[in-house]
Amino acid sequence: MNLRALIALARSEGASDLHLEPGLPAALRVRGNLRLTGEPLRADDLLDAAREMIGPEDWPHFLARRSFDTSRTLEGVRCRINILHSSRGVGFAIRLLPGFTLSIEALNLHPSIKQIVNNHHGLVLISGPTGSGKSTTLAALIQTINLAEARHIVTIESPIEYNFRPKNAFIRQREVGRDTPTFEQALLDSLREDPDVLMVGEMREPETMRLTLNAAETGHLVLATVHSSNCAEALQRIVNAFPAEIQSNVAAQLADCIIGVVAQRLQFHPKANMLVPECEIMLANHPIRNFIRNRDFFKIQNTLETGLEQGMFTYLRYRSWLDKQTRFNTLQAEAEPEPESEIRPVHLPRPAAPSAPNPASPSSPTSHYSRPAAKPTDAPASGDSRRIEIEPTEDFDRILRRSE
């Protein structure tokens, strides 16, 4: 099994995802559908590929967590990679990211989405289910700012998916687990780093949401993603993440700082002959802010239906706009692969990993790994000396206390 060859195959087939599992053929997701290809993959080959990619220093962390997240550029394709342990052994879930120059137009998104980043403070949310292209749309908005204004942009991601090339903006990218222990710590740090724009890769925990709202309130433009199917649900999910006794305060804070929400899903469009983002776009106005403040989220839909002149779209109206389009950008045709060694991060020592089960022990849960783990002094098989950091397995304060 050759991982690079499989990624090259996935790229040539126009796949968005590549799944590798011991005992099963490689699976490609093309236009939203899974398709098997080739012979069943051997468990030993996948284990070797995992060891090479993770490296000896982080292998104990993988054994402890049973998963590993990273991003790499392989065969000219930027990939977001999750290495996981399953009942069959070690597998891969690989997302192939577009390598073209990001822009709203290149993604076939409505031009009105650009106006959402014309503001210099407030909160912008990109929502949608997993795999709907939220991170790509978020990156396109960052690129819009990068090409237009000299602003200081700090991104907080897990992992970094797109490496931005600064044009007019000054861009810092921080990866959770490698450059900062948590989203929360990075958000606290950012308030002392003089940013104009903050990009938060995902908001899952209430503390991350609280700090994100605080940053949007204190004069920063904050762009973040949240998992939800529509705009009203995205706002409601943030408020409901907090205890009931403070939800009114959170709703008021959210109403004051929200700029807009873009909810999107990928749909196959026959005219384009490919998956195209289908969006619901909400731009905050006085009625919507009042609905948020009073937690009347169900009333937001009516405002979207009557807000066309302000640039708002329901899914139905957006689909009508797509049907009228005569030209669609094809991402593969505009591919612009980036050099594999363009950025080589410098890594600082970090606290020791939690003790991992002994792979050689018969009673260990990892005893089915037939070969012992590589020694820390061994060099990675690829000859690449870069260390790939992952999210810590413990609370940062607990790690610090244990290391004292």
In a domain, 67, yes or no: yes
Same-domain check for residues 299 and 365: no
CB neighbourhood size of 40 (10 A): 12
Same-domain check for residues 182 and 259: yes
Same-domain check for residues 66 and 167: no
Same-domain check for residues 256 and 115: yes
In a domain, 402, yes or no: no
Q: Domain residues for 157? A: 111-334
Same-domain check for residues 227 and 141: yes
In a domain, 38, yes or no: yes
Question: Domains in the chain: how many in total?
Answer: 2
Same-domain check for residues 86 and 129: no
Same-domain check for residues 62 and 142: no
Q: What SS3 state is found at 204?
A: coil
Same-domain check for residues 11 and 76: yes
CB neighbourhood size of 47 (10 A): 17
- Give DSSP secondary structure letters for 243-290: -GGGHHHHHHHHHHHEEEEEEEEEEEETTTTEEEEEEEEEE--HHHHH
In a domain, 344, yes or no: no
Spell out the residues 6+ positions from residue 395 whose beta carbon is closer than 8 angstroms to its own.
none
In a domain, 341, yes or no: no
Same-domain check for residues 41 and 186: no
pLDDT tens digits, residue range 140-169?
999 999 999 899 999 999 888 888 888 899
Token readout for 92 is 């891969």
* pLDDT tens over the chain, length 404 residues: 789 999 999 988 888 899 999 999 999 998 778 899 989 999 999 999 999 999 888 888 899 889 888 888 888 888 889 999 999 999 999 998 876 567 898 888 998 898 899 999 999 999 998 888 898 899 999 999 999 989 999 999 988 888 888 889 999 999 888 888 889 999 999 888 999 999 998 888 999 999 999 999 988 999 999 999 999 999 999 999 999 999 999 999 999 999 999 999 988 888 888 888 999 999 999 999 999 999 999 999 999 998 888 889 999 999 999 999 888 887 543 444 444 334 444 545 554 444 444 444 333 333 334 344 444 334 444 444 333 333 344 443 444 444 44
CATH number at residue 371: 3.30.450.90
In a domain, 84, yes or no: yes
Same-domain check for residues 119 and 254: yes
Same-domain check for residues 30 and 127: no
Supply φ then ψ for residue 47, to 5 degrees.
-65, -40
Same-domain check for residues 82 and 161: no
pLDDT tens digits, residue range 279-330?
999 999 999 999 999 999 999 999 999 888 888 999 999 999 999 988 888 7
CATH number at residue 238: 3.40.50.300
Inter-residue contact 390 to 354 (CB < 8 Å): no
In a domain, 345, yes or no: no
In a domain, 75, yes or no: yes
